[in-house]
Structure 1
Amino acid sequence: MSASLKVIFAGTPDFAASSLQGLINSQHEVVAVYTQPDRQSGRGKKIHMSPVKELALEHGIPVEQPLNFKSETDRKLLASFNADVMVVAAYGLLLPQSVLDTPRLGCINVHGSLLPRWRGAAPIQRAIQAGDTETGITIMQMEAGLDTGPMLSKATTPISADDTGATLHDKLAVKGADLLIETMDALAEDNLKAIPQDDTLATYAHKLTKQEAFIDWSMDATSIELTIRAFNSWPVAQTLIDGKVIRVWQGSVLAEDTNKAPGTIVKADKNGIQVSCGHHQLLLSELQLPGSRKMSVRDLLNAPKNQALLAVGAKFSDPQA
């Protein structure tokens, strides 16, 4: 068994919780957890803890939630844990150099891409949206630049034709936790070689926004299908018809062209809703109407009012068009 390290963990969502669980199950000691402040969410605006905080409290690990590290008090508290290393995974807070330098071995990051490709906030979704055939996890030594630090380890995962943002997230969360423990064990034995990133190969994974979720039907069907998969389960691809916002959860490309304007419903039956695009067509198979749950088109078209809404000749649109 390798030596044990004293670890501060910093992370917030489910992706990070998987890595925290891996550390808890390992021989390494998690002496403190840092996570984003509790937030209001849902219709009732109830205060919710992050998945990382919930897990830490379950295991009796001290939890800290500073807004930032500008306060000398917060920086002194961090130093007081006397950690060997700080592990960061989807924390959601940029760390100043003073924090990066605090642990004896610095800070390492669990990132959901094969760096230097897809630095930034949404690497999992942007990889799908770009049509990448593989992605993975990179664990890097953190520095002041955004995801620019030297790489300590990598693990590759194929992106399948039916992967969504949600399914790929879950695969990478598990792989990230496994790779983290391997890396931590090697770090404890001083058996790691940091490899600098090639900045000329870098791409940037911009944060997802609700505004970009609306489908531009003038795009080719393949690009739209990739975006639908990437944005499942957030922010979910959307389109307008008759003033109603329809959320699009699943679709497939039909390599057929039509003379209909982009966004026009060409066919609607139990097999799906066939829509004209800038190039080729898209067959929509799972939709969500306002105030309803997501449903297969087969079930959706059982209701006469939905048949009328989604009739042949009706046209989907982008509110920004």
Structure 2
Amino acid sequence: MRIVFAGTPEFARQALDALLAAGHDIPLVLTQPDRPAGRGLKLMPSAVKQAALQASVPVLQPHSLRLDGKYPEEAAAARQALLDAEPDVMVVAAYGLILPRWVLDLPRHGCLNIHASLLPRWRGAAPIQRAIDAGDAETGITIMQMDVGLDTGDMLLALPLPIGPLHTAASLHDDLAALGAQAIVEALQKLEGGTLQGAKQDEALATYAAKLEKSEAPLDFSQPAQVLARRVRAFNPFPGATMTLPGLDAPVKIWQALALPQAAACRPGEVESASAEGIDVATAQGVLRITELQKAGGKRQAAATFIQGWQPQ
């Protein structure tokens, strides 16, 4: 099929690579403008832009697609480029820009979104992290027909994925990126064959995956250990779960932790013990064992290494 692709990060790059490998004609890629990154804040192209240029696919990077917005000239140029591309369909994956109605209506088959949850659960910005944080047993990929709402369009294809006890947001992201690439290729095969059917979402089952905020990072030890262990996995790598340890002025970032079923011997938030196995902290229910952490401005360390240079008061 003739596809315009819109996406930005690594999650989207895998889908673009899969579509190219499947032999689809992609005359145009839309991605976010280059952003400053690294210590030198050098402008860096997105993962999707890098993949598109490597495949010799033209790339457009408008700041907005709103014809009546802050960048009307960029939006008008994008509209003309889309008209010239004559797409059968637009595939969208973590693009980062709102698609106005004129974009949604332009392709012959509309716009298909690769969404990292089993809709209608976890609509919104952070479905991967919120699924882990909530203790969901599974998540998955939904290929959705886009409309003007926030992830409210008809579901076209859904592929489930179990959430394992060791999944972090980073590792689950990688698994879902691979599954999303598989799902969009399968969906387009069905679309070509005329067998892709949509199903309405049940609004009563909808939940919202709010954007992650740094203010959520501090762990609340009045919660059970199992809840806190999930929060650590959900916030790895960003924004990172944090806590303040005795003897340290700045909070430490918790990279890995596990919940112990044993009863806490101290008040919630107090350190019970520190050994090569980990730093055990009392919670409202059970003990949270921290096994990997990082001082502010320091490197990630296993607890066994960390405690060698830590002198709690």
Bin for the TM-score computed over the shorter chain:
over 0.9
Q: Is the counterpart of residue 65 in structure 1 residue 71 in structure 2? A: no
Deviation at 1:259, TM superposition (A): 4.9
Partner of 2:260: 254
Please list every run of at least 4 consecutive aligned residues from structure 1 whose deviation after the TM superposition is greater than 6 angstroms.
none
Deviation at 1:30, TM superposition (A): 1.1
Q: Secondary structure at the match of 1:145?
A: coil
Partner of 2:141: 137
Q: Secondary structure at the match of 2:308?
A: coil
1:152 counterpart (150, 156, 167): 156
Deviation at 1:244, TM superposition (A): 1.5
Deviation at 1:31, TM superposition (A): 1.0
Q: Secondary structure at the match of 2:185?
A: helix
Q: Secondary structure at the match of 2:36?
A: strand
How do residues 27-42 of structure 1 correspond to structure 2 at under 5 angstroms?
27-42=23-38
1:290 counterpart (289, 296, 302): 296
- Cα deviation digits, residues 282-303 of structure 1 (max 9, x gap): 0110011122211111122233
The normalised TM-score by structure 1 is: 0.92
- Cα deviation digits, residues 81-112 of structure 1 (max 9, x gap): 11110000000111111110011110000000
Q: Is the counterpart of residue 225 in structure 1 residue 221 in structure 2? A: no
What letter matches 2:37 in structure 1? Answer: S
Deviates more, 1:113-122 or 1:62-71: 62-71
Q: Is the 8 A contact 2:65 2:98 kept in 1?
A: no
- Cα deviation digits, residues 93-146 of structure 1 (max 9, x gap): 111111100111100000000000001111111100000011100001000001
State, as a whole percentage, how many aligned pairs show the same letter. 45
Q: Secondary structure at the match of 2:257?
A: strand
Partner of 2:69: none
1:277 counterpart (283, 298, 301): 283
- For structure 1, the residue ranges without an aligned partner over 5 or more in a row are 315-321
1:75 counterpart (62, 71, 79): 79
Q: Secondary structure at the match of 2:98?
A: coil
The CA distance in 2 between the partners of 1:59 and 1:126, in whole Å, is 34
Q: Secondary structure at the match of 2:251?
A: strand
Deviation at 1:59, TM superposition (A): 0.7
What letter matches 1:27 in structure 2? Answer: G
Deviation at 1:211, TM superposition (A): 1.6
What letter matches 1:20 in structure 2? Answer: L
2:101 counterpart (92, 97, 102): 97
What letter matches 2:269 in structure 1? Answer: G
Q: Is the counterpart of residue 26 in structure 1 residue 32 in structure 2? A: no
Q: Is the counterpart of residue 44 in structure 1 residue 40 in structure 2? A: yes
The CA distance in 2 between the partners of 1:191 and 1:93, in whole Å, is 30
Q: Secondary structure at the match of 1:302?
A: helix
Q: Secondary structure at the match of 1:128?
A: helix
What letter matches 1:127 in structure 2? Answer: A
The CA distance in 2 between the partners of 1:15 and 1:268, in whole Å, is 38
What letter matches 1:261 in structure 2? Answer: R
The CA distance in 2 between the partners of 1:93 and 1:171, in whole Å, is 24
For the aligned residue pairs, the C-alpha RMSD in angstroms reads 1.2
What letter matches 2:104 in structure 1? Answer: L
What letter matches 1:92 in structure 2? Answer: G
The CA distance in 2 between the partners of 1:18 and 1:96, in whole Å, is 25
- Cα deviation digits, residues 197-243 of structure 1 (max 9, x gap): 11110001111122211111222111111010011111111122332
Deviates more, 1:234-243 or 1:201-210: 234-243
- Cα deviation digits, residues 229-286 of structure 1 (max 9, x gap): 0111111111223322201011111122335222110001111100011222101100
- For structure 2, the residue ranges without an aligned partner over 5 or more in a row are 67-71
Partner of 1:15: 11
Deviation at 1:45, TM superposition (A): 1.1
The CA distance in 1 between the partners of 2:37 and 2:251, in whole Å, is 22
The CA distance in 1 between the partners of 2:256 and 2:169, in whole Å, is 12
The CA distance in 1 between the partners of 2:264 and 2:19, in whole Å, is 54
Partner of 1:117: 121
Q: Secondary structure at the match of 1:301?
A: helix
The CA distance in 2 between the partners of 1:291 and 1:69, in whole Å, is 39
